[in-house]
Amino acid sequence: MARRTRSASLENRTNRLKLPIRKKPYTALIAPGIFLAYRRNAGPGTWSVKCGWLQRFGLADDHEDANGESVMSYWQALEKAKTLARADEGNSETPISVSDAVDAYETDLETRGGRKYNATQLRLHLTDAIKSKAVALLTERELRDWRAGLVKKGLKPSSADRIGRSFKAALALAARNDKRIANSSAWKNGLRKLADSEVARNVILPDQTVAALVGGSYDEDQDFGALIDVLAETGARESQVFKLTLHDLQDHHPTGPRLMMPTSRKGKNPKIEYRPLPISPRLAKVLRQQAKGRPAHGPLFEKIWNLATHFRPVVERLGLGPEVTPYALRHSSIVRQLLKGVPTRVVAAHHDTSVVMLEKHYSRFIIGDPSEALTRVTLLDLGALSGSAEVVPLERLAS
């Protein structure tokens, strides 16, 4: 059996607490080229691994019992340091920290035309301790406690869940870039969807309110008004609308103008397709005016980060609540079409979603007046049929 690497000054808390407080860590050689580093602080000390790079990974059990995850004894820290250093032999790069992962996620979003806001918002909710930790050392319990803390601070479960999804995406990207990261189960389980985050929060607006919001947006700025106008009339996501170019406006037919709307990059399929969405001649004229002076393949609208913040003054002037965001225009468009009796599959295709998602979130509108009228005509008139005594046998269906 191999001998365990001992260090008289570090292996028990009594001796560690006798060491002078200093910034430079105390080290112990635990394997060829691998050092376990201990930094003596005024509070609990910290463990790091040093092997061409230095990475902190946990607290020392100076003042509380070790749990093997966030707080470690000397022997637990020794094994963790070896595991981290040897996860990819020959790789001298510092392990990716959570802060590095979020930065890379932000860059990836920007490159793909996604919402950079997902990364910036996530960064605001991460603690300094989590930011500095190596992704490879995150634990399920740590991530679960972090998200629970968001709810405890006052975030709605749906908001905490949304931020958690951004965190999962950042960590998954880091794992693809660094094969030493083998703890994907930590965020898959620790950031699993909250049970009460599925509470319906879709805000459905009357047509008059939608019209008032569009008009109020034009009062703010002509370009901003045109953007909100497109969101209201098409029900598209803002990420889709910001990808529109002048070339996507097809208004050569005066009574049947349309926009070639790009699909969103949801899920693992990066391919973008274009689907024709009808728009009114009124909106087509607005967009043609909007396109003046712009290159044919340039964006029809300048990118606006955090559109909800720009939309809020319009909402407040109309005396509406903070729950009214630009996304409410999408919800309202979906419900408007369902209540008008448009087939669910057509509504799903128009809004770049699936029938399953529509049935999950808008079923109460699908089972409404249009469906009642459709099913009412199929009701049997048993009163009229009861007078006939003739029984006609059913033919056996071919198997």
Model confidence over 215-269: pLDDT tens digits?
Answer: 999 999 999 999 999 999 999 999 899 999 988 999 888 788 999 999 876 654 5
- Distance, in Å, from the CA atom of 330 to the CA atom of 339, rounded to the nearest integer, reads 14
Residue 258, beta-bridge partner list: 250, 278
Nearest Cα to Cα of residue 249 among 264, 262, 238, 239: 262
In one-letter notation, the amino acid at residue 169 is A
Q: Is the pTM of this model over 0.95?
A: no
Residue 154 scores a pLDDT above 60: yes
- Distance, in Å, from the CA atom of 30 to the CA atom of 210, rounded to the nearest integer, reads 67
Order of strands, sheet of 274-278, starting from the edge strand that comes earlier in the sequence:
249-250, 258-262, 274-278
> If you average pLDDT over each of 45-54, 56-65, 89-98, 207-216, which comes out highest?
207-216
Q: Which residue is it, tokens 């009701």? A: 379
- Distance, in Å, from the CA atom of 202 to the CA atom of 279, rounded to the nearest integer, reads 24
- Distance, in Å, from the CA atom of 171 to the CA atom of 97, rounded to the nearest integer, reads 10
Which is it for strands 54-60 and 71-72: parallel, antiparallel or unpaired?
A: parallel
Alpha carbon distances (Å) from 312 to 307, 316, 323: 9, 6, 10
Q: What does the pLDDT average to over 196-221?
A: 83
Model confidence over 341-387: pLDDT tens digits?
Answer: 899 999 999 999 999 989 888 887 766 555 566 566 667 666 666 65
Between 253 and 319, residue with greater pLDDT: 319
Mean pLDDT (the chain) is 84
Q: Which residue is it, tokens 């635990």? A: 30
Query: Looking at residue 159, what is its pLDDT?
Result: 85
pLDDT category of residue 90 using cuts at 50, 70 and 90: very low
- Distance, in Å, from the CA atom of 81 to the CA atom of 34, rounded to the nearest integer, reads 8
Residue 389 scores a pLDDT above 70: no
Nearest Cα to Cα of residue 261 among 282, 280, 235, 285: 235
Opening angle at CA 306, ends 300 and 310, nearest 5: 80
**Distance from CA of residue 281 to its chain's centroid?**
35
Q: Would you identify the CATH topology of the domain 207-373?
A: hpI Integrase; Chain A (1.10.443)
Given CA atoms 186, 189, 195, 201 in this order, what sign does their dihedral have? positive
The count of residues in the chain is 399
* Beta carbons within 8 Å of 96's beta carbon, 6+ residues apart: 104, 134, 135, 136, 174, 177, 178, 181
Which is it for strands 26-31 and 54-60: parallel, antiparallel or unpaired?
A: unpaired
Q: What does the pLDDT average to over 50-72?
A: 87
Between 366 and 196, residue with greater pLDDT: 366
CATH class of 98-190: mainly alpha
- Distance, in Å, from the CA atom of 9 to the CA atom of 311, rounded to the nearest integer, reads 60
Query: Looking at residue 200, what is its pLDDT?
Result: 45
In the chain, at which residue ranges do the beta strands (DSSP E only) sit?
26-31, 34-39, 46-50, 54-60, 71-72, 249-250, 258-262, 274-278
Question: Tokens at residue 209, please?
Answer: 């309110």
Element (H, E) at 60: strand 54-60
Nearest Cα to Cα of residue 196 among 234, 236, 156: 156
- Distance, in Å, from the CA atom of 366 to the CA atom of 345, rounded to the nearest integer, reads 11
CB count in 10 Å sphere of residue 177? 14
Confirm if 136 and 174 have CB atoms less than 8 A apart: no
Confirm if 76 and 56 have CB atoms less than 8 A apart: no
> What are the residue boundaries of the structural domains of the chain, listed by start?
13-86, 98-190, 207-373
Question: 300-317 b/e with 16+ CB inside 10 Å = b?
Answer: bbeebeebbebbeebbee
Least confident of 39-53, 310-324, 362-376: 362-376
Query: Looking at residue 233, what is its pLDDT?
Result: 95
Question: Tokens at residue 68, please?
Answer: 């093997």
Percent of the chain with pLDDT over 70: 85
